[in-house]
Every structure is written in structure tokens, then in C-alpha cells.
Structure 1
Amino acid sequence: MYSFSPAVLTAINQGRLGTVVVAILLPSLFSLLEKNKGLGKLTWCKIFSIVLIAAVAAAFSPLFLLSWIIFHSSVFLYNYFTSPNWRAIKWQEILKNLDTDEYKKRLALIFTPIFINVPISINLILNPFSALKEPGLTVESAGQLSVLLFNLGGLGSPPLFLLAPFVLYLIVAVISKEQRKVGMTSLLIISIAATLSSYFIEGNSSSAQRIWSGPLVIFAQLLVLLSFFAIVERLIPQLKRSNFGFKHIGLAATAVITVASMLSISIWTATTGADSLLRSNQEQVIPAFISDLASTTERPKTLVIRKSPEQLQYFVTRGGDLQIGNADVASPTPPQFHQTIVDLVNGVGGSSSQILGYYGIQYVFMKNPADAGLVRIIDGIGGFTRSSATKDGVVWKVDKAHARVTYQNTVGTFFPVSSTDKAATAFVSGEGVILLAEKFDKSWQLLLNGKIVALEQHPFGIPMFKIAEPGEISLTHNGTSRRAWISIQLIALITAIVLALPAGRKRREVPLEELV
């Protein structure tokens, strides 16, 4: 029932990897958090097992990490300010009040996932709105009404008339005295999810997108499901001993609705739902000759464009299809580059080919079905030479495009510099400028004869280094801070794994009967 819920099916069909991982790991978290047991009664081994699972889920879903931090911080503050000694103002007294297993374990649940997921978690705390961006490609989802019905909507989601029984379970949980607190918690979570889904935010390298609240819906439906099972488990023995009444009718009606709902969703999944956005046998989008360019020393890039009546979509490829985590789409697009694309599409970009060339764009590819109007605009704007037009799409070559690393001498002549994925080394014959066809980042470092050259930003927004003398150059990305964050990650992860492993008992702790 949980795995065939509309929220889980929608996440799978749309490729929402973060939500899928949360859906897989949430039941494990609930099983480790034993029912009616406070944190003080759980062992440290179990606490860090919970921490590891939460950290893995947080690595895939920033919204889960933010919700995890807010929830446990709220519980921590509530427990402290409802304690008898909460008015203490001296730090010695405050530390004494916090010197209990309950508070220590709660702090471990809060901070350990943060350390395991740095620097993403630090950025999340400084900019909480970044948690509202679901990893992966932007896919349109539905609004508040659909979310309130535990259906996230959008392409690949079950239609609304295939109602899941979770709304009925929520009503039952709210009515029940024993499960009312859980029911109200679920109602609050699904209300927050519906509220978030009414807002739009700007995604990385994409247009505005509706906030995806999948992890919250998954969490709410799991709470509702567990509370309903608890009610049924308590109610069935009572019904066996009581006369036929409205409780028997209500339970039978709920069972019929549940079976009908699961049967209809299963049929939809095997028929219409099987034709989803996510494919395992999808053919390659990028033409083969463009993919082969990735193996050359110039390492050119290709701009892939697709225009529909509703929107314009584009991404930059270095020889392969679009992938999650690709550096060109995982971070914001430079404003100059984005404006160049907009001007190109509008037919007013007289310098579009020049700017694209400085960013290392050697080809522009428009996949079929190509927009005829946009094809005519690119053909006539200047700076683009049509290379081919096949069944796959139309390809233009950008005139005077630069390599990934280019040396410009004082005369104004450009010379490509051979480079690899990680570095570029070469000999320059005299004064000039080294241009790097990448996004500007302060971590780019160039050595000239063993000396560091100052990094500058080109008017087009790319990194630039001024060469004052001839000699050997070495260009790398010096990710010192990144290595420091990875070190913190590894320390926190290894510590959590060691503390989560079962510990052996000392000899003096083993009963005499076991030794004999």
C-alpha cells in the first residue's frame, strides 16, 4: 500500500531521486525509533544507526535535512523550556541541565547529519530556501488540492479520480482519541506541503518551478498509515466481542475502499502509468560526432536548445547527455551567458556567437522537432554556420569559438591550449592573456614559472589571467576549502559508523554462567 501510493509512483515516474530515497529509508527510521520509547531509553548504538540513515536521506533530499533539523531542534527547545530549571541563566547551570542522555542524544541527532553533509548543510542553514529545490531536472507538479489528496500531480502521476485511501485514514486518525496526536501531526505536515506547493522558486539553471513537497507528503502518509494500522489492531478484537454496529460497517467500508483503490492504482501502473518520463532504454540525445569531441584536447562544448510554445529549454554538454550533478547545470548559469541565449532566441543577439565562443561553445544543436522560426533566426543572425540538418536535429558551428583554455597574445591572436579534465599545462611565448571558458570561480589558480598569477574576471564573466612574461603555465582548480569539507565529512561519517557498530562486552561484564 505504501509503495503503490500516488506520491511514490509519481516520484519514480518523474525521476525524483531524492523523494524515492526518502521513501525507501523512512520505514527503517520508524522501526529504529521504537514505539513509546524516549531517546533516553535508546542505546547509543541505535541512536547513531538512526543518524546514519537520516544522513543518507539528507544527502539526497535537502528538504528532508531541513525538516529533520527543524523537528529535532523544536523538540529539544520544547523539552528544555518545559523542564523545572529552564530559568537558569548561568552557563554552568545550563550545562548541568543539559547533562542528560535525552539532551545529548537529541543533539547527536541534530548535528551529526549536518557534519556528514557539509558543506551542503551549512549552505542550507545560511539559505533555507535552497532546501526547496528538489535534486534533478525540473518537472511540473500539481497545486494545493492535489497535494491535500496525497497526490503530487504532474506528468507520470496517477489521475485524481484514483483516490488513495490516505485521506480516509487521516480522518479516522483525527477522530480516534488514541491516535489523534499522530493524526493532527500528519494533518499539519500535509498542510505545510500543500502551502509550499502554491509557491514558485527559481531553480538552478532553469526557469521558475513549483516547489516540490514530495518528502513531506511521503512522511505524512506513512504516519497516517501506521496510525490507521494501530487503530485497526486495537479495534478488531473489540469488534469480535461486540454486537453488529456502525463500527463493523465503517471498518468494512474502509476495507472495500482500500482494496478498490489499490486495485485501480495497480492497473493504472501496469497500463497507462508504465509510459512515464523515466526510461531505461532511452536513445542518446546528442549526435555521435559531437560526443566524440569530448576526447579532443580542445574540449569544446555544445549548446543544446529545445523550444516549445510554452518555454525555452537549454543546457551545455561537454560531449555527453544531461546528467544529474553536471557542473554546467548543478550551479546557477552566469547572467551574461543566460542573457546571450535570450537575445539569440529573440533575434537581437548580434554578439551572441562571440560570447558563446568565449564560453567554449563550439556547436549549437537543436533537437527535432525543431522550431522553424528559431531555426530561421539562428540562420540569419550571423556568427553561426549550419553544419548539418538530419533526422536528429539541426547543428550550427559557432564561428571563432575558443577552446576550453586559450592563450591570446598582445597582437590579439588566439591559440588553443591543450587541457584535460583536471588541468592544463603549456608554454607561452610572451605577454598576453589566458582565457578559461568556464564559470568564474575564485578557486581557479594559474602558475607561471612557479609563481601564482592574479585571477581576474573577463567582461563576459569568464576567468582571465594576465601573463607578464614567457614561460611554463599550469592551470588547475585549487579546491582547498572543498578538501577541508570532505575531511570533515569523512571524520563525521567514520565516527558515526564506528559508534553505530555493536560493541562487545568486557570480560567482567559477562555473567559467570556464560563463562562456565
Structure 2
Amino acid sequence: MSVHSQSAAQAASYEAAAPQFPRHVVTAVIVSHDGARWLPDALSGLLGQERPVQNVIGADTGSADDSARLLTEALGDERVLHLARRSGFGTAVDEAVRAAPVLTPDDLPYLKRPSGWDPVTRTWHDEAYDMPELPHGEPVQWLWLLHDDCAPAPDALAELLRVADASPSTAVIGPKLRSWYDRRQLLEAGVSIARSGRRWTGLDRREQDQGQHDQVRAVLSVSTAGMLIRRDVYEQLGGFDRRLPLMRDDVDLCWRAQAAGHQVLIAPDAVLRHAEAASRERRPIDCVGRSVAGPHRVDKAGAVYTLLVNARGAVLPYVLLRLVLGTFLRVLAYLVGKVPGQALDELAGLFGVLLRPGRIMAARRRRGKPAVEASELRPLFPPPGATVRATVEQVASNFAGRAAPDASAGGRHGAVESGPGDDDADFLEVEQFARLKRMARRPAPVLFAVLLLVSLIACRGLLGGGALTGGALLPAPGEVSDLWARYFHGWHDVGIGSTASAPPYLAVVALVATVCFGSTGFAVTLLLVASVPLAGLTAYFASRPLVTSRLLRAWASVAYAFLPAATGALAGGRIGTAVLAILLPLMARAAIAASGLRLAPGVRPSFRAAWAYALLLTFTTAFTPVVWPIAVLLGLGLLVLRFLDGNRDKIVAYLLRFLAVVVSPMVVLAPWSLSLLTEPSRFFLEAGLASKPGQASWLDLLGFSPGGPKAYGSVLLLGVVLAALGALLRDERQRAVRTAWVASLVGLLFAGLANGSGWAGPPALVYGLALLCAAAIGAEGIRTRMMALGFGWKQPVAVLIALAAALAPLWAAVGWMIGGAAGPVERRNPEQVPAFVAEESGSADRPRTLVLDGDAGHVAYSLVRGSGARLGDADIAAEAGEDSRLNDVVAHLVAGSGADQTDRLGGYAVRYVLVKDGAPREMGRILDATPGLTRMSQEDGSALWRVDRRVSRVAIVSGSGGGTAAEPVAVAADPVDAHTKVPAGPGGRVLRIADAADEGWQATLDGKPLKPVTVDGWAQGFELPASGGRLDLTHESPLTHTLWMTAQGLLAVVLVVMALPGRRRDVDDDLPEEGLAAVPAQPVEGEGRRARRLRAAQEAQAAAAPEAAVPGARDGADPVADPYAAAAQQADPYAAQADPYAPAGHDPQYAADPYAADPYAAGQGVPQQAVPGMPQQQPYQDWQGASQPDPYGAAQYGQQYPPAYQADPYAQHYGGAYDPYGYGQQQPYGDGTAYDGMPHEGAADGTTHDGSYREPRRDGSDQQ
């Protein structure tokens, strides 16, 4: 017996009125699982349909709450199935369909021809017999699938059947889904699946429903929440796949329907609210496995299974490959984002399907060959690159933060006007002026633009062709692969060769060059030329917790950017100091956060701040190692301060954070960092060539100048020092001022130490930044403090100090622009030897050049390969140390002693000797007199000599003669390896390589390994047999080096992950923005922006708690925010439109439990009014909760005379709270014809002028 069926006896007593779309017979199936929270609304929406269903079956899958009881009370015990708790949604639907009978015209008399007998007039009407037996046509059986957490609008079923009636070939129709809480937020309007497995809705996050998707169109799939599917199609497809107990079962079913030749449409006028309880973790998932599974894992497994069993055979390998690669990329992204649980879910979901290939093959056999071509379904899938663009937009929005409401409300689907009208012109002018005011309030972009302009003007001589070189900077290699090779290879062809560790800053520069599309020259130019504006920008952002005045922050940032150490680093080619200038403000802010100096006593700082500090310290140590001992000394001072302050119970926590900070750089940068510990003087070196010591006096260091080109200080900078001294006189914030002064004194101390062995730029930056911080703190509020004092000498002195401090950066900027930034560093040809020498060095002999320089009392030399040294070679040479034998050769050469100098030079494969301009003239006269050297030319003041003998990097010499053999046989070689044929010769021969001996050298002759030997006490050699053959010479990096490099990369990734922000506390994503604000703030430790904001919100809530009590809150219970309260207060231009789904009001007594109130109960909303001219029978009384013994009164399904079949049963109206924004009979005036559709709807919803729907095409070509 159906909901609205009647017996034959009843049909004889009166004529049954046909419902709207009478030939469509609908059986509703509602499945519940721990859904008592949403089930009352779902049942009210189902039983309150304007076009009722003909039958309804409920299925409860072992709910632990009141869901089963609510279903039984609403539908009757005979209409509710009770299944096991592990039953999936598809299983429940299959059982419900099996239990639901197919209703025939015998069960629904209105489907048959009416009787000719009129019982009122007691007469016969012969015209009734002229009608066909089934006047409405053959009945079409439909299944309407509902979740317990979805509530359909009153006209949802009618709109679904309207589309079904207009499109007879349609098999599946779905509604438009909106959020349960934010009732204007779109969740789905049709759904598809990407090749990566992503569920694709084509909607923006939190996209609002403004009618932008209100077109009846073909889609790949619709959600099972509100899905209307033909019963014969459902049975033909075999129902849901039991391998998909939850999630992606809708896509699989609709995909199979599409493959079978059926059509799937979306009916946007049918609206359902959906809570998405399972996917948002509002209830457990018990139908997958023996334990509760997470929604991410279930969704991933469902996506993989759906793609593999439904994809065409031709694209199956591509789909599988993309699934595997995409999964591992997402796993890496989740690990970086500190979401290891979702990373494990990704792997478990993927391999949980792939490790069961038998299930996949069986499912593919059941589906068989598709009945439609793949090209017909292709438009229903996301276009290529759509998911990538969506991911990029999501990541960009996360970094950009929350946009302004006026900028983000429209989304990408917002309407665009062609232009402003006359009435809008004045408004737009005001809006543009407001935009300028907003830019003025955010001076960071303006500050960066001004600093960049000043830097470009000053660096005009450093832009153009050639390579940046000079000073401490060596030219960068031409290819980014050369940079990576210099860092990762175990053997470096520098000098006589070395296995020393490459400096870690090469990896950072290589990474920047990789981001810059492989341009190494642009990467170096960017780090140098943009160092000044980037330093000012980072200083501005880092100073936000320091002072609140934007003007003071801008001044301090500009002053920091134009410190002599920053401009001198650019002129001297000191890339290490330039990078430090960019990162030092961020590192200082992270250090303050990690130290907890700004936290209340007893509050521990967050470990993430310590890891962020460790990450920045690791980067800066790679370029300027001196910052590490500075950080260690300051950290030890902080530990002592914490111990003396009485925080002895927290000393262990601070000690752990201190160890994490100081140990991380040494571990990540090992083994290079270990040489710093064994030779502490190397801490005062930095990236590039070493500098001359003692370039600055103590007065220069006190004035922020480390000495060197373009690093001149100014008398005006003394104003900054005096301002920092004046900050010590301030009564408040003394801890911050004293901390800045301690850091400045430590920086000044290390500047003095570094000045004795090299350049003092890095510690001078620390000194200058700390004093600027102290000056900024002291200057904040100075006007108020000066006005509170009587006029005297203090005011003029303060004005003079402020004037000097303000003019100092301006004076430095003007002087820098006029004088230019070019100094020793310049842009020129990177070749350090004549062009023909560089060309000849690439020949098979691989000859080298000895470059001499120096003065009367000192000689400097370098052994050059190729066209000259490159970035990183000086650091590797310094790490390897000097070669005493080569020192002896050079000393004898410039002294003119001995006649065998050319033979000894040949042993090092030296073919040319170059004396640079500026060297003593006596050196040239000695070389002219040296036998075996011939002067070649003199160019740009440099002189060149050639060795008069055949030299080669790899040669065959006699065993007895060793390196002094008269006629060595040259062997063709590459820069490191050699692969060639050697001729046969006498026994006792030795293959000599003009590189330092090392265990990594390996040589084979026709595949047979050769015995290694050491030649001349330093060179690598191999014993050769008398026979010839193919020679293969290689250098293999030791296993320890490979392990170090691998561990270093993994530790760097771990350090980056630890420094990144963690995942925020989960909040219901579909809550409106006001609802999110209503979530109580939780106490969060740390110094981040979010931590401070949450602490402030918590304090505000605590202060407001005694003044306002939460209505309905019980003693000892936490008040629950009403999710509808915030939504009702939203000022929205769409709030006044007719909304059939407007939320009803809530009684204050239900504030503690927002789901205890019934929005459909009489009296909950607007007081009930009678509809004039309409009968007042109520076939379904208002839902009154589970305590109602007879929730539907006399309208029980099993009764003999259901009141639903009165003389005009569909002229009824449902009692209770009417909807003031409803349509037709829902409206307070009760005019059933009030809503007939707006005149313009014919073009908007796809109908023709006669009201029928056009038949959509499968390929979507009819959609505009």
C-alpha cells in the first residue's frame, strides 16, 4: 500500500485527483546512519513536498542514536528496514528497492480512466468512456534517493519531475545542493571526476548561489543526495557497486548509466540542503573495513576504483600512471603541509585498490563494452589543466589571505557590467580615492617600489651584457646544471683537484637559478641588485610586532636598507652579505618569537618559531658563517636570563629550543660545517674570494661602516646611535630596548673580530639592525612624552637627533644614486685569460694556466682550468688548502732559481703563465730569462708566456722517469674522465694524471682494472701493461659522500616542513563567515599572527562573559553557537529576494541545542494563517519531535480511508509556519496561482515559449 494509494472501494465512492506530473510514480528511499541531528529536517522536507511521493521506504544502518526511532515514528514500522551497522549506502538502497513494490494503476487509481458514474448527481457521463485506459500514459517508475543529512525544498521533487517530463530520455536527474548552514552557498550543481581522481564540481570555494548555474544541462554525475533515477535503469545497471560502500558511488553509477546510453541532467530549480556529515567528519564511517575509516581515505579509494573500472582500455595505463604519480605528489604536499594523516590516507586509499587487481578486472568485465563513444562523454569531464589551475588558485588564495568582502563576493562567476553610468561616475571617483587611501595605509608595496627604483638607478652600470664579477664575486657558470654538479659531485676540478666539500650556498644559488628558468647570471644579479629593496621590504614586515607606527617602520626599513654594509656588499660583490641583509630581519623576528621575550611570564614559546629560526639561521650560515656564533652567544645569554628570572621550571624547554636552533645548521650543512668547528677562524669568511683584513677603524664600525668600496658611513648616522641611547631613558619597554642593545654590542664585538681577518660586513649588519630597533622603540610616542615635559633643552636636542636620524637614510640614498653602485664588481666578459688560451684549454690535452699576481713582498697565484675560476671555486680551494709542492714550484719560478722550472710546470699540465696587471715588473723580467718560457703577448697590462714543451693532463710516462720523462705520450681526456684508446708500448709504463691522488680514481684497460700508484708524491697514476687497448678513467664519489648528500637533502626538507605553519583546528567549512567567527577562540601559544589574534579573541570573550549570558546554556555546559543566528544577520543584497528555502527562526530555549528546535513546527516561525478558500484538512501534521505518540495523526499509511484522498487532495496546504518568501500556496495570501514563473525564465532555465524543456545534447553544445 502506497502513501497515497486507495482501494477499489474508495475509487467507487469518489474520483481521485491526479497529482502534478501524474504519470511519474516516485518511491522515496531515505537512508539513515547516526543522523538524528539532521533527520527531523530531512523528514519534514520529504513529507512536506508540494508534489508528494507515492511511496517511501526508510533504511537505518544500525544507528547508535535515535535515527531508527525517528524513521519509525514518521513512516511506520512496516516501512523501515533495519540493517547492519557496516551496511553501505548502496546496500541500504538495494534492500529498500527490493522491499518496495512497483505501484501499478491498480494501486494508484488516478492513473486509470475515471469512472463514468457521478455519485453526487447519480448520473452517468458517457464522455469518460471515450478516454484511453491510461489517460496519463504508461506510468514511469522513479526512485528518489535521500540522505538523512539532506533536506529538500518543498518544490524539489516537482522541479525534478518537471525536467523528467520535458526530457523523456533522461534516466538520472539531480538537484542543486546548497550548504546546510550557509543556505546561499553552493556545494554542487552536477559533479564530475578528473583523471587525477579529484571530485570536480567546477565551483569556487564558498561560491554563493546567484543563479549563475541555473541551466538544465547534461553532466557526468549528480550526487546521491536527492538523485532521481528511473527504477528500470537502476535495476538494469544492477544498482550501486558494492565495492563502493560510500563516496564516489554516485559518480560510478552515473558513469555506467552514461556508458549504457542514458542521459544525466541537473535540475537547478530543485534545491536541497546538504550537511555532508560523513565527508566533514561529523559522524563516523563504519561501512568500510572492520574499523572506523577517515573520509579522505574512503574518498581516495573510491576515486581510484571508479577510474580504474570505468576508464576505457586505451587510456587505462595513462590513468594508472597519473594516479600513482599524482598520489605521491600529494603525499609530499601533505607532508610539507604537516598533515601526515592525509598523506597516509592517500597511500592507503591507492594501494588498498591496486593490491586487489582481481576486483578491478571483475568489475570491468561486469561493465562490458560501452554503448557510446568516448568522444561523446569527453565534454562531461574537466578540461585539461582545470585541476592544476584550481590547485594553483587555491594555493595562491591561501598565501594571499582573506580578500576584502567587496573584492571576493562575486567570485569568478560574478556579473560584469559594460561600464559605469552617469549615476555611478561620482561613486567610482570616490571609490578610486578610497583605493588610494588604502594604498597609503599599506605602504609596503610603495616602499618596495621606491627602493627598487633607487636601486635600479644606482645599479645602472651593473645592468646589461656580460657577467657580474669583481671584488669577492666570481662569475657564475653558464648553466644551472654546472652549479648543481659543483655542489653534488665528490671531485672538484679546481687547482690540482680536490675532494673538499662544496660550500652549501651553491645549492641555494642553484635553486634560485632553477626558479629563474635556469639562468645563473640572472639569479646572481637578482640576489645582488635586488638585495637593497628586498632588505627594506623584509625589515618593514619584520618590524610589525616591534612598533605600531607605520611611519617609524618605514623609516627604520629605509635606514636598514641603506646601511653601509648593505650598499658595500653590493659594490664589493659580496653575495653572502647581500643575502644576509635580506634574511636578517626575518631571522631577528623569528628569534624573538622563539625566545618568548614577548610572551607573558610562564608561557612557553612555540616550537615552530624555533624551527623557523633554525631554518633561517641555516640559510644565512651557508653564506655568512659568522652569524652562527653570534646566535649561539645570544642564545646562551637568553638561557642565563631565563634562569635568573625564576623560570627554572621552563629551563628545559628553552634548552631544547636552543639546541634545536644551534644544532640544526651544523647538521644540515655537514660535512662543510664540520670544517668550521675544526678551524674556527673560517667563521669570519663568507661566500666568495677572501677580503683584505683591517679595512675599517673602530670609529667606522661605531658608525655602521665595515669599510671597503661604497661602504662609507655618514656623520648623520650618529643620530641613529644617539636615538638608540635615548631609548634607554624610556620608562616602558625597557626589556625590548636592552635586548636590542645587547644584540648590537655582540654584533659590534664580532665586527671587530671579523675586521682583523676579513670583511666585517655581516656582524656590522647585526649591529646596525639592533640599534635601529632600539631607536624605533624609543621614538614611538616621543611626541607625547616631550609634550608632557616642560620646555627645556631636551626638546631641541630631541629634534636635532630626530632630524639627523631621518636625514641619514635619505642622504645615503641620494649619494648612492649619484655615485652608482658599481665598484670592484662590474659586468664584463667572464673569461680571466685571453680568448685563444681559453679555447685551447678545451682541447684534448686540457692544458692549464698559471696566473701570477702580488706585490714586492707577496706573490699570489692560482692554477686556472678552462676560461677561469667560477662561483664557488675560491671556497673549494680555501677548503682544500694550499699545495706545498706547487708553492715551491711558484717560489722557484718567480725567484729565477733552477733550470727545470718548465719541466715541473709541465707536471702540473701548465702550458701558459699569465702575469696580471699591477704585478711587479721584476716578475716579468725573471720570466723572460727563464729557460723554456716564451713571451706571447701583452694585453691590458697583463703579460703571457708559453711553456716550450708538450703538456697534457693525462699522459703516459716511463716508470723510472716518472714525471720528468723526456717524451711523455699525451692521452686525450675530458675535464675529469678519459675514455680513449692507448697504444701498446714497453713494459713499466705509468698512466699519469695531473690531478691529486685519491682513492676515488679508477682506471680500466679493456675492462681490466689497473693498479693505482702515486706519481711524484702527489699525482694520481696507474700502472700500464705493454699491450694497448681501450682506456676508461673515472672518478667515483665515495659512498660516504653520497650518504651525506642524501641525508643533507632529507634533513633540509624536514627542517622546512617543521618551520612551516601547522594545520589549523578543523572548523565546519560550510559555516558562513559569521559562523566561523562564532567558534570560541582557543588558547594558542606562539608569536604568530594567528596566535595573537586568537589570544586577543579569547581575552575579549572572557571580558564579555560576565556581561552577557548565553540564553539556554546549562550550568557547567558550554554554550553552542547557533549556526543560523549569524546567517540571519547578514546584510546581503539578495536577502530580500524570494527564497523558498529561507531558514526559520529559532526559539531561544534551544540555544544549547540548535537541532532540538523544529523549523517546521507550528509557531516556530511566522504565526500560522488560514488560506482563504482552501480546505483546512492536514494530511500530514507538523513534526513535533520524537515524543509525539502519533506524529502524523489520522494520516497513517495503513488506514482504510486516508484523508490524503479527499475530493481535492492536492488543494491542501501544510499547517505550521508558512514561508513568507514561498511560492504559490506557501505564501501568506495563499494564492495557488501566484507563482507561475517569471516572464524572463524561458530564456534563463532552458524552456521554450510553450513551457517545455528543450532536449539537451549529450556533448553540451547547446549550453552557452
In 1, are the aligned partners of 2:1002 and 2:1009 still within 8 Å (CA)? no
Instruction: Return closer, same or farther for 1:74/1:263 CA change in 2, 3 Å cut-off.
Output: closer
Give the AA of the match of 2:813: S
Q: 2:1049 aligns with which of 490, 494, 513?
A: 490
Instruction: Return closer, same or farther for 1:254/1:491 CA change in 2, 3 Å cut-off.
Output: same
Partner of 1:62: 625
2: CA distance, partners of 1:487 / 1:71: 32
Partner of 1:378: 927
Instruction: Summarize the alignment of residues 128-147 of structure 1 with structure 2, pairs less than 5 Å apart.
Output: 128-140=680-692, 141-147=695-701
In 2, are the aligned partners of 1:146 and 1:160 still within 8 Å (CA)? no
Partner of 2:764: 217
Q: Does 1:431 align with 2:988?
A: yes
Q: Does 1:333 align with 2:882?
A: yes
Give % identity.
Answer: 24
Instruction: Return closer, same or farther for 1:77/1:261 CA change in 2, 3 Å cut-off.
Output: closer
Partner of 1:104: 656
Which ranges in structure 2 are unaligned for 5 or more consecutive residues?
A: 1-558, 1080-1122, 1124-1264
Q: Deviations over 1:266-307 (max 9, x none)?
A: 343233454511112467442111121243222211112234
Q: 2:913 aligns with which of 344, 364, 383?
A: 364
Give the AA of the match of 2:817: A
Q: Does 1:398 align with 2:955?
A: no
Q: Deviations over 1:55-96 (max 9, x none)?
A: 11111112123333444356457757997989xxxxxxxxx9
2: CA distance, partners of 1:40 / 1:121: 34
Partner of 2:706: 152
Instruction: Return closer, same or farther for 1:302/1:62 CA change in 2, 3 Å cut-off.
Output: same
2: CA distance, partners of 1:445 / 1:72: 48
In 1, are the aligned partners of 2:639 and 2:651 still within 8 Å (CA)? no
1: CA distance, partners of 2:744 / 2:856: 40
Instruction: Return closer, same or farther for 1:382/1:159 CA change in 2, 3 Å cut-off.
Output: farther
Q: Does 1:350 align with 2:899?
A: yes
Structure 1 residue 447 displacement after superposition: 4.3
Partner of 1:2: 560
2: CA distance, partners of 1:382 / 1:173: 71
Structure 1 residue 354 displacement after superposition: 2.0
2: CA distance, partners of 1:464 / 1:73: 51
Q: 1:289 aligns with which of 801, 814, 836?
A: 836
Structure 1 residue 319 displacement after superposition: 2.0
Q: 2:598 aligns with which of 36, 45, 60?
A: 36
Q: 2:777 aligns with which of 230, 253, 256?
A: 230
Q: 1:500 aligns with which of 1041, 1059, 1068?
A: 1059
Instruction: Return closer, same or farther for 1:357/1:162 CA change in 2, 3 Å cut-off.
Output: farther
Aligned partner of residue 2 in structure 1, secondary structure: helix
Aligned partner of residue 378 in structure 1, secondary structure: helix
Instruction: Return closer, same or farther for 1:427/1:79 CA change in 2, 3 Å cut-off.
Output: farther
Give the AA of the match of 2:899: G
2: CA distance, partners of 1:166 / 1:232: 11
Aligned partner of residue 1061 in structure 2, secondary structure: coil
Instruction: Return closer, same or farther for 1:272/1:79 CA change in 2, 3 Å cut-off.
Output: same
Aligned partner of residue 850 in structure 2, secondary structure: strand
Partner of 2:570: 12
1: CA distance, partners of 2:1011 / 2:852: 36
1: CA distance, partners of 2:1032 / 2:638: 53
Aligned partner of residue 314 in structure 1, secondary structure: strand
- The structure showing larger relative contact order (alpha-carbon pairs under 8 Å, at least 6 residues apart) is 1
Give the AA of the match of 2:584: L
- Between structures 1 and 2, the one with greater helix share: 1
1: CA distance, partners of 2:624 / 2:651: 34
Partner of 2:675: 123
In 1, are the aligned partners of 2:691 and 2:759 still within 8 Å (CA)? no
Instruction: Return closer, same or farther for 1:382/1:175 CA change in 2, 3 Å cut-off.
Output: farther
Give the AA of the match of 2:762: P
Give the AA of the match of 1:243: G
In 2, are the aligned partners of 1:445 and 1:455 still within 8 Å (CA)? no
Structure 1 residue 334 displacement after superposition: 0.8
Partner of 2:118: none
Give the AA of the match of 1:11: A
Q: Deviations over 1:213-267 (max 9, x none)?
A: 3221111111111111011114333224433233322321112222443343334
Partner of 1:167: 721
In 2, are the aligned partners of 1:444 and 1:455 still within 8 Å (CA)? no
1: CA distance, partners of 2:901 / 2:779: 66
Instruction: Return closer, same or farther for 1:79/1:355 CA change in 2, 3 Å cut-off.
Output: farther
Structure 1 residue 453 displacement after superposition: 2.9
In 1, are the aligned partners of 2:938 and 2:944 still within 8 Å (CA)? yes
Aligned partner of residue 53 in structure 1, secondary structure: helix
Larger radius of gyration between Structure 1 and Structure 2: 2
Q: 2:581 aligns with which of 23, 34, 38?
A: 23
Give TM-score scaled by structure 2 length: 0.36
Instruction: Summarize the alignment of residues 472-491 of structure 1 with structure 2, pairs less than 5 Å apart.
Output: 472-480=1030-1038, 481-491=1040-1050
Partner of 1:254: 801
Instruction: Return closer, same or farther for 1:151/1:58 CA change in 2, 3 Å cut-off.
Output: same
Instruction: Return closer, same or farther for 1:173/1:81 CA change in 2, 3 Å cut-off.
Output: closer
2: CA distance, partners of 1:239 / 1:509: 52
In 2, are the aligned partners of 1:10 and 1:156 still within 8 Å (CA)? yes
1: CA distance, partners of 2:835 / 2:613: 46
Instruction: Return closer, same or farther for 1:148/1:188 CA change in 2, 3 Å cut-off.
Output: same
In 2, are the aligned partners of 1:458 and 1:464 still within 8 Å (CA)? no
The answer to which of 178-187 and 438-447 deviates more is 438-447
Which ranges in structure 1 are unaligned for 5 or more consecutive residues?
A: 87-95, 200-209
In 2, are the aligned partners of 1:8 and 1:20 still within 8 Å (CA)? yes
In 1, are the aligned partners of 2:621 and 2:628 still within 8 Å (CA)? yes
1: CA distance, partners of 2:803 / 2:678: 49
Give the AA of the match of 2:630: S
Instruction: Return closer, same or farther for 1:254/1:113 CA change in 2, 3 Å cut-off.
Output: same
Q: 2:969 aligns with which of 415, 423, 436?
A: 415
Instruction: Return closer, same or farther for 1:389/1:190 CA change in 2, 3 Å cut-off.
Output: closer
Instruction: Return closer, same or farther for 1:500/1:275 CA change in 2, 3 Å cut-off.
Output: closer
Q: Deviations over 1:147-197 (max 9, x none)?
A: 233211133331666755443345335555612343244224313422442
Partner of 1:207: none
Q: 1:48 aligns with which of 608, 611, 614?
A: 611
Aligned partner of residue 626 in structure 2, secondary structure: helix
1: CA distance, partners of 2:1061 / 2:687: 34
2: CA distance, partners of 1:221 / 1:36: 22
Q: 1:302 aligns with which of 841, 849, 853?
A: 849
Structure 1 residue 442 displacement after superposition: 4.4
Instruction: Return closer, same or farther for 1:262/1:390 CA change in 2, 3 Å cut-off.
Output: closer
